[in-house]
Amino acid sequence: MNKIFSTRVDDSVLIILDELSKRLKKSKKKIIEEAIEKYAEEKKDAGFDILKETSGCWVREESVQGTIVNARDSFTETFKRHHE
């Protein structure tokens, strides 16, 4: 599934992207996708593992229920402290 992605880039980068698109006869989308895939592969070869680096999102030491209980407890304590 394709999704829309928006970001600010320097004008010089857009000029390079336009030139690459014309010379390679590829869409800008395809050039950007290939560049990101190549960059990720290079980082992986250098020992960078995106899943390991972001493991906080993927691996949790506490259960989801534990996180909910902790969040509620923190909220309750803050509420009491500011409303007593």
Q: What is the pLDDT of residue 3?
A: 87
Confirm if 27 and 18 have CB atoms less than 8 A apart. no
Q: Are 13 and 1 in a shared domain? A: yes
Q: Are 10 and 38 in a shared domain? A: yes
Q: Are 84 and 57 in a shared domain? A: yes
What is the residue range of 56's domain?
49-84
Name 2's Cβ contacts closer than 8 Å, sequence gap at least 6. Answer: none
Q: What is the pLDDT of residue 79?
A: 80
Q: What is the pLDDT of residue 56?
A: 56
Confirm if 36 and 28 have CB atoms less than 8 A apart. no
Q: What is the pLDDT of residue 77?
A: 86
Q: Are 59 and 33 in a shared domain? A: no
The domain tally of the chain equals: 2
Q: Are 34 and 71 in a shared domain? A: no
Each of the 84 residues of the chain gets a pLDDT tens digit; together they read 888 889 999 999 999 999 999 999 999 999 999 999 998 888 777 777 666 666 655 566 778 788 888 889 888 888 876 666
Q: Are 42 and 75 in a shared domain? A: no
